[in-house]
Each structure stands twice: as structure tokens, then as C-alpha cells.
Structure 1
Amino acid sequence: MVAVAALAAALSVWVWAAPGAAAVRLAELIGTRSRRPRPRLLPERPRPAAKAAAWRAASIELCQIIVAELAAGKTPGDALARAVLSVSAPDPAVLAPVAAIARDGGDVSAALLRAAPALGGEGLVRLAACWRVSVTVGGGLAALVERVGGSLREAEAHRQDLAAQLAGPRATARMLAGLPVLGLLMGAGLGMNPLSFLLGGPAGFACLVVGLSLNATGVWWTNRLVARAEGSPVTQEPATQGPTTRGQGP
């Protein structure tokens, strides 16, 4: 029992001492190089958050390639088509119609809007707005796309910094979720029998219900605060509809 109590205490300390913001940020910078692929028996389905991050990265890469192609003297349609073929998109088949329409001189803005996913497609939406402005009022496409790419990079950097800062609250939620089990293990390790008290009478059952309710409320509230911080307007790309509004003038 003493060994169980020591193990529970060590586990609680490990959960409490979660990696801080600096450690999480450092892991993000070097983790992709140090990780080794693990064999999997079943194909892993990408999470929505990971897929959205991949689409945001692809949008930034798309803007950079378009600017480079335009600077090399390519026409806007050819620049977009070559960029679509070169970009590392999560689902290349989604962007394939955009390349075909760009080569044929069709409605590129509408094609980009159709290809933009619900999660992570903000960059494609803004690129479509730039294309509409360039076609409608004759603005410089290279300058518009370069500005959009810069704003997307800044927003992504801010999002990553925020995720690193929220590592502490996430660790707190994990700690709260594991406290009841750790408490039972530590009580058993000290020679007590907490389950017999909690399940042996009305008083113990009331304590169990109240304790679990308070713990669940704490976990829910912490996760809610983290979700609100992640979805705050500060983390969203500014002025998403700006170019579109300018292009709709009389």
C-alpha cells in the first residue's frame, strides 16, 4: 500500500509539473525534427484541429509561391496554377479544380471560395478576395497577395504563442480530472478504505456526489476558459472581408 501511495504521489507531482510555455514552444520548434514515425496497425484519422492547421500552412505557402511566380513574370492564372501544383495541401484534390480554372481564365475567386474548407480556409477566402479586387479595380495582385501572406503568418505565429501560453491551464484541467483517483489511491495506501465510506452510507455517498460534481465543474470551467481564449477575436485574421468590401464599390 505504501508503494501505491508513493506511486500516486509521484503521478500527481508529474501531472502538476506540466511543461511550461517555454518548453512547449521549444518542443514545437524542434519536435518535427526529433520525432520518429511510429508503426501503426490502423490508419490514423487526422484531427480537425491538425487538419485546419495544415490548411493554414498551405495557404501561407500558396501566397508565397504566387508572389514568387508573379515576380518571375508569370501571368496571374499561370502563377496560381503553378502554385497549386507546388503547394503541400492536406487534400490536393480540393485545389485541383482551382488550377484548371486558373489556366482556362475562369472565375478564380469563386473557385477558391469553393475550395476553402470550413476549418482553416481563411487564407483561401482572403486570397479569393484579393483576386476579386485585382480583377474588379485593377489592383496590383502581387502586393495584395504578399500583404495577405504576411498577415496570415503573423496570425499563425500569434496562434502558436497562445497555444504555448495555454499549456498551463490545460495541465490544470488534467490535474483536476485525476485528483479523485489519486485521492482514492493515496487513502488506500495509508491503510484507509475510502470506498467503504463513500459507498457505505448516505453521508459518504453525498460526499462522493458533491466532490465529483465540484471536480467536473472545475474541469469544465477550465476547458471553457481555454476554449474562449483560443477562439477570441484576437486570434482571428484581421480584416478578412476588407478587400471584398473595397471591390464592391459602385
Structure 2
Amino acid sequence: MLTTTLLLVMAVLLWPAAPARSRLRGIRSPLGRGARRLAHRWVAAVPLSTPSLAVAGALAGALVAGPGGGVAGAVSAGTLWSRWRARRAEALRVSALANLARALRLLVAELRAGAHPATAAEGAAADTDPQVAGVLTAFASTSRLGGDMASALRTISEQQPVLGDALEGLANAWALSERFGVPLADLVDALCADLEHRVRFARQVHAGMAGPRATAAVLAALPLLGLLLGEAIGASPWSVLTTSAPGQALLAIGACLVCAGLSWSNRLTAKAARP
């Protein structure tokens, strides 16, 4: 115990100062950048999908824990990847709607200042996200050429399903403005208010769902904690799971049940937070 304490004290005393750490980072930075480039190229070259990750998880699980471990690894890898993709798609959708709402606010300001719709859309496109800028550029081109704006927006909404509902609303606003003479700025302003309300509601629900999501993650990790506690007290549950037929069956069934619970809870929270 005394030796360990002395070694820890010496390690703290010999810990490099900030200038030394910065010099070390400067020495390692070319290698680190090269490693990151190689990692990015590898990730780009290997197609990451739920089936491929499930196969990789099955191989890893089979090597570690036999056939039951293979089933558990496949189900776990596929479930975690699907869960991550769903969370990422939800975040991208909310971000895209928020960017579109900001861009449409700029469009409304330009329209109320007396600008032509094509000029207003081009001005708004210059100060927004590239994804939304492409939509506004197509809007400006169609308006300048005198094309069918509603059909063009509906075509763009099919190409960008993340913004599908919002673009459908913009197409309806243009159609109402042309048919009944309602000022386009007022209709787009109402659409902006709706989008902002949906984004605000989605973010509030997402924050409110942090507790249930954390609870689901903790409950999913409890079997692993029980396994570690069993090993700590000498019950050897890992040996039972990996060396006997009933253990292999229990390992596969338990992993499937845990992943089913995670998928179910994720589906519930995703439906509640969808804008």
C-alpha cells in the first residue's frame, strides 16, 4: 500500500506541465491527423448498415461466447445501430425544420419589403443552410421562369423527405396566393409560426424524454451488472452461459428480450418527440 501511494505521488509530481503537453501534442499531431484520415477512409470504404453490423456482432459474439453469444452479438449490434440511426435522423429532422423556418423568416422580410418572390428567395438562400438553400434556389428559379411552383415544391419534397411536410405547406401557400390573391408573405409567415412551434415542441419533448431514455438504458444494463456481480462473488455465471446448452439458450433469449425492450422504448419516445 505504501509503495503504491509513493508511486502515485511521484506520478503526480512528474506530470508534464502545460507547455510540455502542448509540445507533445505538436509532435504527435501529424501522426494523429494521419490516423484520423485513415480511419475516415476506412469508415467511408466499409458500408455501415444494420445487416453488416449484425454480422460483425455475430462473429465477435460467437468467438467470445459460442453460438448463443453470436445470436446475442448480432441482436445487440443491430439494435444499437438502429437506435443510433433513429436518434440521428430525429436530430437532423428537427435541425432541418429549424433552418427552414429561419430561412422562411428571411423570405417573409424580403417579401414585405417589396421584393419579387424570386429575388426574396435568392436573398434568403444566401444566408441559410446548404440543404435549405438548395430548396430556395429551386424556388427562385421556378418563380423567375414562371413555372408551376406548387408542382416544383412537391417534387423537391419527394427528393428531401426530411422537409417533406414543410415543403408541402409552402406549395399550398403558393397555390392559395396565386388562386385567391392572398399575400404570399402572410401565408409564409403563418407557415413559419407553425414550423417554429413544431421545432420548439420537439425540443421540449426531447428534453423531457431524457429521463425515460436514461431509465431504459439503465434497465438494459442491469443484466450485465448482475453478471459482473455474480463473477465477483464466485458464482461463475459467465461459465454457465458459455459452456452449457441451457446457458447458451438463456444468453440468446436474454439478449433478444433486452433488445426488444430497448427498441420498444425507443419507438415510444420517438413517436412522442416527432415534430
Normalising by the smaller structure, the TM-score range is 0.5 to 0.7
Amino acid paired to 2:225: L
Q: Which of 78, 85, 91 in structure 1 is aligned with 2:126?
A: 85
Q: Secondary structure at the match of 1:106?
A: coil
Aligned residues: 194
Q: Distance in 2 between matches of 1:69 and 1:170?
A: 42
- 1:131 aligned onto 2:177: no
Percent identity between the aligned chains?
A: 35
Structure with max Cα Rg: 2
1:77–1:105 CA contact under 8 A, matched in 2: no
- Alpha-carbon offset, residue 136 of structure 1: 0.8
- Alpha-carbon offset, residue 99 of structure 1: 2.0
Higher helix share: 2
- Alpha-carbon offset, residue 213 of structure 1: 4.3
Q: Distance in 2 between matches of 1:106 and 1:65?
A: 23
2:118–2:139 CA contact under 8 A, matched in 1: no
Residues 131-150 of structure 1 aligned to structure 2 (within 5 Å): 131-150=174-193
Q: Which structure would you say has the larger RCO, counting Cα contacts within 8 Å and 6 or more residues apart?
A: 1
Question: Which structure 1 residue ranges, 5 or more long, are not aligned?
Answer: 1-38, 236-250
CA distance 1:95–1:48, change in 2 (3 Å)? farther
Residues 1-250 of structure 1 aligned to structure 2 (within 5 Å): 41=37, 42=40, 47-90=88-131, 92-116=133-157, 117-201=160-244, 204-205=247-248, 207-231=250-274, 235=275
- Alpha-carbon offset, residue 163 of structure 1: 0.8
2:99–2:132 CA contact under 8 A, matched in 1: no
CA distance 1:163–1:122, change in 2 (3 Å)? same
Q: Secondary structure at the match of 1:86?
A: coil
Question: Which structure 2 residue ranges, 5 or more long, are not aligned?
Answer: 1-32, 45-84
Hey, what does 1:28 align to over in structure 2? none
1:81–1:103 CA contact under 8 A, matched in 2: no
Q: Secondary structure at the match of 1:90?
A: helix
- Normalising by structure 1, we get a TM-score of 0.66
CA distance 1:95–1:71, change in 2 (3 Å)? closer
Cα shift readout 1:28-62 (whole Å, capped 9, x = no counterpart): xxxxxxxxxxx853289995334323321232022
